Amino acid sequence: MYSTTRAMLTRCVVHVRRGVSAYGTFGRRRDGSRPLQQHANKSAVGGGTARTRTLSHAHAPKNTADVSSGVFLGSGALNAGARVEVNAQTLVLGIETSCDDTAAAVVRGDGVVLGEAIASQAAIHGPWGGVVPNLARAAHEEAIDAVVAAALAEAGTTAEALSAVAVTCGPGLSMCLRVGVRKAQKMSAQYCLPIVPVHHVEAHALVARLCAGTEAVTFPFLALLVSGGHNMLITARGVGDYTILGSTLDDALGEAYDKTARLLGLPVGGGGGPALEKLALEGDPTKYKFPVPLRQRKNCDFSYAGLKTAARMAIDADIGGGDGDDVEWDGLDKRQTRADIAASFQAKAVKHLEERLKRAIVWAREDTPDLSCIVVAGGVAANATVRSTLVKIAEDADLPLVFPPPKWCTDNGVMVAWSGCERLALGLAESAVDADLERKHETMDPRDIHCNLLPRWPIGEKDSRATRENIKSAKTARIADPLRGADGDRDISGSSVRAAGIE
């Protein structure tokens, strides 16, 4: 029964449409908010077969948590938190600066992507072997205006015509998040736009609903997020309503790929995963008997630090060079040994993913039998071995598998804009930033401007079956409350997302 659906979902057809339309400005309410219904007067954007999708009361996901965003980037709840109709006339700008990509996109409420732009910082951080927060902030500051302008231009629209601006306010590097949030606040005040605070990890998961369709990726679904900064399995019951089945106790898989690739002397600009994957094709995955992580723990948590150490020890013993920086890659020296280590590392890394996903399906079905599908997102989802392994698991479980296309698996503006659409529809948006206050900000030292950032913002509570004693970041750092009621300490300036273990 699923074969057709699965084939359709695995291909994950994405509608990308560009259109030009002259939009006028719209009336404003006394509180500065813009009545969204007025956008019904706009001419439709683009031509062709736009996917019909209206995010309104009738189509609200079931089991949606009754959440207030509780973030306050704007001037309080939009229209007292009332749901609004979000449809083909709604235009949302999304801004993403949580880590090392400056990204923006304009997405229509019915899921049509009108324009997107991204400035990657891979070349800046590559030589350092990881994201350097100060450099990242400076690069965001330099790029943000141009990236937003490019997204608007590609969409053939202007800021005046937007319905709302959505922005990632956590989790991530606070000094980077600040750049995006300040840009969004300025635009909100200048153009009287509602502002939608977006959770970065939620956005990674929700973009699958844009790609495959809200009618295919219905709540509840299971999501595996696996990138350089995130490694978690969650049950998604509704927008803002998530349970963490498992997360990493130390490194994320992408991070382990990156570090191991560097130790192997591979080029890691833009992430070491693709280079390691390529080399692994030449290797014997059974040559090195690395351990499959966390076998003794029958839960859904991940750990990649031990596997990374095992690979490092093999490199030290059989290739030499010690800390990796000394291992020069000339393409020839001990190439077979390097390939065997790469293949053996990848085999066990993917085996660990496989075991955890299988258990997560069982766990999720115990209390959520009606899962619609499995969503996989994050940069590591581009890996062919990962893909083929996960396809098989989904088939065995008789669940469709949704991979957003790689450019929307990695950090991007589309996921933020779409998440903004979903939240806006549910009334999880805030009124425009007060223009007088924003004028005052212009005369202040930017560092003194109060900005409600959520660098550590759990997407939800941990499942009761998950490892309790290993929420190490909760013990050692200040953490905001989960997504459904963010209200915790907010600023941990200067820490690195990956170094700090934020998922």
Residues of the shown chain interacting with ligand KG4 in the complex, contacts defined by CB under 6 A: 99, 227-229, 254-255, 257-258, 271-274, 277, 378-380, 382-383, 410-411
Q: What does 277 interact with, of ligand KG4, Zn ion, none (CB < 5 to 8 A by kind)? A: ligand KG4
437/189 Cα distance (integer angstroms):
9
Q: What does 258 interact with, of ligand KG4, Zn ion, none (CB < 5 to 8 A by kind)? A: ligand KG4
What's the one-letter identity of residue 313?
M
Q: What does 272 interact with, of ligand KG4, Zn ion, none (CB < 5 to 8 A by kind)? A: ligand KG4
Minimum Å distance from CB 498 to ligand KG4?
8
Closer of 100 and 110 to ligand KG4 (Cβ): 100
Q: What does 380 interact with, of ligand KG4, Zn ion, none (CB < 5 to 8 A by kind)? A: ligand KG4
Minimum Å distance from CB 14 to ligand KG4?
17
Minimum Å distance from CB 226 to ligand KG4?
8
* Count of Cβ atoms closer than 10 Å to residue 349 Cβ: 27
438/450 Cα distance (integer angstroms):
11
Q: What does 126 interact with, of ligand KG4, Zn ion, none (CB < 5 to 8 A by kind)? A: none
Bridge partners, residue 247, by sequence: 232
Minimum Å distance from CB 308 to ligand KG4?
12
Which DSSP symbol is given to 43?
P
Closer of 223 and 361 to Zn ion (Cβ): 223
Minimum Å distance from CB 407 to Zn ion?
13
User: Order of strands, edge to edge, in the sheet holding 164-170?
Assistant: 113-120, 101-108, 91-96, 164-170, 195-199
Closer of 411 and 463 to ligand KG4 (Cβ): 411
Closer of 301 and 411 to ligand KG4 (Cβ): 411
Minimum Å distance from CB 303 to ligand KG4?
16
Minimum Å distance from CB 491 to ligand KG4?
21
DSSP-based three-state secondary structure for 132: coil
Minimum Å distance from CB 255 to ligand KG4?
6
Q: What does 427 interact with, of Zn ion, ligand KG4, none (CB < 5 to 8 A by kind)? A: none
Does residue 220 have a cis peptide bond before it, meaning omega lies within 30 degrees of 0? yes
Closer of 372 and 412 to ligand KG4 (Cβ): 412
Residue nearest to Zn ion (CB): 411
Nearest to 279 by CA among 268, 290, 292: 268
Closer of 135 and 159 to ligand KG4 (Cβ): 135
**Residue 318, token pair as written in the block:** 């059989």
Closer of 202 and 411 to Zn ion (Cβ): 411
Closer of 180 and 265 to Zn ion (Cβ): 180
Nearest to 356 by CA among 292, 266, 275, 282: 292
Rounded to the nearest 5°, which phi and psi values hold at 442? -60, -25
DSSP-based three-state secondary structure for 85: coil
177/10 Cα distance (integer angstroms):
32
Q: What does 273 interact with, of Zn ion, ligand KG4, none (CB < 5 to 8 A by kind)? A: ligand KG4
Binding site for Zn ion (CB under 5 A): 411
Q: What does 257 interact with, of ligand KG4, Zn ion, none (CB < 5 to 8 A by kind)? A: ligand KG4
Nearest to 74 by CA among 152, 187, 163, 158: 187
Q: What does 379 interact with, of ligand KG4, Zn ion, none (CB < 5 to 8 A by kind)? A: ligand KG4
User: Order of strands, edge to edge, in the sheet holding 231-238?
Assistant: 401-402, 374-377, 221-226, 231-238, 241-247, 461-462
Closer of 163 and 260 to ligand KG4 (Cβ): 260
Closer of 141 and 202 to Zn ion (Cβ): 202
DSSP-based three-state secondary structure for 203: helix
* Count of Cβ atoms closer than 10 Å to residue 243 Cβ: 22
244/242 Cα distance (integer angstroms):
7
Minimum Å distance from CB 229 to Zn ion?
6
**Residue 419, token pair as written in the block:** 């998440």
Minimum Å distance from CB 44 to ligand KG4?
33
Closer of 195 and 339 to ligand KG4 (Cβ): 339
Its sign, for the CA torsion 352, 356, 357, 358, is: positive
Rounded to the nearest 5°, which phi and psi values hold at 376? -120, 125
Minimum Å distance from CB 330 to ligand KG4?
22
Q: What does 421 interact with, of Zn ion, ligand KG4, none (CB < 5 to 8 A by kind)? A: none
Q: What does 410 interact with, of Zn ion, ligand KG4, none (CB < 5 to 8 A by kind)? A: ligand KG4
Q: What does 220 interact with, of ligand KG4, Zn ion, none (CB < 5 to 8 A by kind)? A: none
Strands 164-170 and 231-238 come out as unpaired
379/229 Cα distance (integer angstroms):
10
Rounded to the nearest 5°, which phi and psi values hold at 482? -60, 170
Note the helical H segments in 328-383.
Answer: 335-367
Closer of 129 and 488 to ligand KG4 (Cβ): 129
Minimum Å distance from CB 313 to Zn ion?
30
